[in-house]
Amino acid sequence: MGYSNFKDPFGLLKRMLLSGNKIAYSVLIREVLNKILIPVDFLLHRKEKRRLQKQRSISKDPIILVLGGSRSGTTLLYQTLAYYLPVGYISNFIAAFSRSPISALKLFGRFLPKPKKSFQSYYGSVSGMGGPNDAFSLWNRWLGDDRNHIPKEINEQSSADMKLFFNTWLHITKKPFLNKNNRNSLCAPLLDEILENVYFIEIHRDPIFVAQSLVLSRRAVQGTNKIGWGLLSQDSENTGDPLDYIDDICKQVYQVDQTLASGRKKIDPKKYLRVSYEDFCKQPQELIQKVAKNVLNYEIETESLKDLKLSTNTNSQRLNDAEFNRICNCIEKLYN
């Protein structure tokens, strides 16, 4: 999870320990393991550089990037695609090797478990060493350490490094690459220019319930309504209005949606798929089959998807009436 990105990491640690959430405990165990593996990562780094320098031929396998704002369903979509499609991805274990993910994959990949058929998460983090990871440790190389904002440009050296990394990864795994990192939603057109054979899947959700979920996320992750959390978030000032944070969160949701819409116009529609979170939850089989056929040129047997069911009751009021009504009114003003 990377506690340095949060205003009160010790408070977050306490809340996770007291949450009773098994996935939260799994995330904490993983963070400890990450620290233990730092020396191994350093040792593998030299081999990683040599491996990258040797790669010359260009892979034609697709790179599939899941886009969407925080709390819009990106993690759920990522988990589902990773489980059912024949793709490679950065797992929770491999993400620990920020300097040498490819070498770590070569060394440990055969021992890693497959992702679990579990579609639960803890604010974007999933359980299990084989579970799909956001791979911030990788994307930070080219986009910086701020998880919720991007640099104004990606320089030529970073662009070349990005191309080289993914080309090498694809040759090693011999599988299409899949990843979800919400920050990529802010720079999809740039990534489209840099990466060959990239394909984007954007998931969007009713903004009222995205905003509600962000309120709850601020409380659970930051411990207060006033500290921002998620893509394009800003801390809320003390204005004397007890619900001013609601307006800030609604503006955050709107800005992310506007950024996605602007980026979407710059990308070839053949390389971009936009799906409703609500529709995906109702009929996930349709999307999986569509991605498999249109992006991977792969047919999935209907029989293998027959037991796939996702919750369809996540869009319900979970805040008090004053908060929820404030969200509804603010969202209506912004979007109309």
pLDDT of residue 118: 79
- 333 closest CA partner among 204, 159, 157, 207: 207
Query: 293-315, pLDDT tens digit by residue?
Result: 999 999 988 888 988 988 877 89
Say which residue, 86 or 1, is predicted with more confidence. Answer: 86
Query: 18-69, pLDDT tens digit by residue?
Result: 888 999 999 999 999 999 999 999 999 999 999 888 867 788 899 999 999 9
To 10 degrees, the CA torsion angle through 121, 122, 126, 132? 90
Instruction: With cut-offs at 50, 70 and 90, classify the pLDDT of residue 3.
Output: very low
Measured in whole angstroms, the distance separating CA 219 from the mean position of its chain's CA atoms is 20
Residue 277 and residue 284 in contact, taking contact as beta carbons nearer than 8 Å: no
Answer whether residue 5 shows pLDDT above 60.
no
The radius of gyration computed from the CA coordinates of the chain, to the nearest angstrom, equals 20
pLDDT of residue 112: 87
Average pLDDT over residues 194-203: 96
**pTM, entire model:** 0.94
Instruction: With cut-offs at 50, 70 and 90, classify the pLDDT of residue 271.
Output: very high
329: CATH:
3.40.50
pLDDT of residue 4: 41
pLDDT of residue 6: 66
Say which residue, 4 or 116, is predicted with more confidence. Answer: 116
Instruction: With cut-offs at 50, 70 and 90, classify the pLDDT of residue 218.
Output: very high
Residue 103 and residue 118 in contact, taking contact as beta carbons nearer than 8 Å: no
pLDDT of residue 242: 94
Average pLDDT over residues 148-177: 93
From CA 188, how far away is CA 161, in angstroms rounded? 17
Answer whether residue 229 shows pLDDT above 90.
yes
Answer whether residue 2 shows pLDDT above 50.
no
pLDDT of residue 187: 95
Query: What residues does 117 pair with on adjacent strands?
Result: none
Burial per residue of 130-169, b for 16 or more beta-carbon CB atoms within 10 angstroms, e otherwise: bbbbbbbbbbbebbeeebbebeeebeeebbeebeebbbbb
Domain tally, the chain: 1
pLDDT of residue 55: 67
281 token code pair? 């939850």
Average pLDDT over residues 133-156: 92
Instruction: With cut-offs at 50, 70 and 90, classify the pLDDT of residue 239.
Output: confident
Average pLDDT taken over every residue of the chain: 93
Domain that holds residue 20: 3-335
pLDDT of residue 7: 72
